[in-house]
A and B are shown apart, each in its own frame.
Chain A
Amino acid sequence: MQLSDLVFFAIAGLTVLSAAGVAFSRNIVYAAFSLMGTFMGAAGLYVFLAADFVAVVQVLIYVGGILVLMVFAVMLTHRIEDVQISNRTVGLAPALLVVAGIAGIMGYAVLTTAWPVIEPGAAVATTADIGNLFLQEYLLPFEFASVVLLAALIGAVAVSRKELRSE
């Protein structure tokens, strides 16, 4: 077993264990911090998959943006006195049944399908190529993405602001 395999298993273990922390933690604050482990582990997996730009974007946007926003929302909405039961779960048995069924089907598909695998080349820097693709082949989706982000920005402000009466 090579060293890189060991590092892969460590990162995959970090990802899976902290995802389990998100799913099973009884305290929403612990779940929020566990989510950081999942995001960082996923970024590590992206580096292993030779996607350096996506890994950096993952750290910047997920850990630096979405996670901070979630912790803000947790702190703003969650009352200190019921910290122990802040993350109530219901319906464990039917949920386990559904998840086990879906995961079983997906695992069967993953393990039995003969995926057309190519031998991956050496990892090269991807940023310049991704930038060129965004400004050439994927220009229209890129512009739509900016419109979606603008709409989300305005929508979030419109939803969360206080109602102002004119009189």
Chain B
Amino acid sequence: MIGLTHYLIVSLVVFALGLFCVLTRRNAIGILMGVELILNSANINYLAFARFGSGNYDGQIFAIFVIMLAAAEAVVGLAIVLGIYQTFRTIDVSATETLRG
């Protein structure tokens, strides 16, 4: 029987892969993809606890807000990435170090 722990482990693996992606990527879009993985794993946790922990809809409402914020984050993040590309002609984040002291 599939229980809460199964979902938590799937979510944990997706979170770990997303964190790895954020830490190792040098492509700005790759980093944004890692952030999306982390947000998805958080959503799986919210829904798993809504189903097996509380039994009401609060977790689902939170998941919808997370999806909404992920959309806003992706829009602004990709606009910034395109701005960086127009300035530096690359989206490698280690090349954009104008502000490094």
**Count of A-B contacts judged by CB separation below 8 Å:** 220
Chain B: interface size category = 35 or more
Contacts A/B (CB < 8 Å), 8 sampled: A8-B6, A42-B44, A95-B23, A96-B20, A107-B12, A110-B8, A130-B60, A148-B72
- Say yes or no for A77: interface residue by CB 8 A criterion: yes
Contact of B29 among A12, A73, A106 (CB under 8 A): A73
B: residues with CB less than 8 A from A are 1-10, 12-21, 23-27, 29-30, 32-34, 36-37, 40, 43-44, 47-48, 50-55, 57, 60-61, 63-65, 67-76, 78-83, 85, 91-92, 94
| Complex CA–CA separation, A45 to B51 (angstroms) | 12
**How many residues of chain A have a CB within 8 Å of chain B?**
82
Give the chain A neighbours of B18 by CB distance below 8 A.
Answer: 19, 22-23
CB distance from A119 to the nearest CB of B (A): 9
Give the chain B neighbours of A66 by CB distance below 8 A.
Answer: 36, 70-71, 74
Question: Chain B binding site: helix, strand, loop or mixed by DSSP?
Answer: helix
A: residues with CB less than 8 A from B are 2, 4-5, 8, 12, 15-16, 19-20, 22-23, 28, 31-32, 35, 38-39, 42, 45-46, 48-51, 53-54, 57-58, 61-62, 65-66, 69-70, 72-74, 76-78, 86-92, 94-96, 98-99, 102-103, 106-107, 110-111, 115-118, 120-121, 126, 129-130, 133-134, 138, 141, 145, 148-149, 151-153, 155-157, 159-160
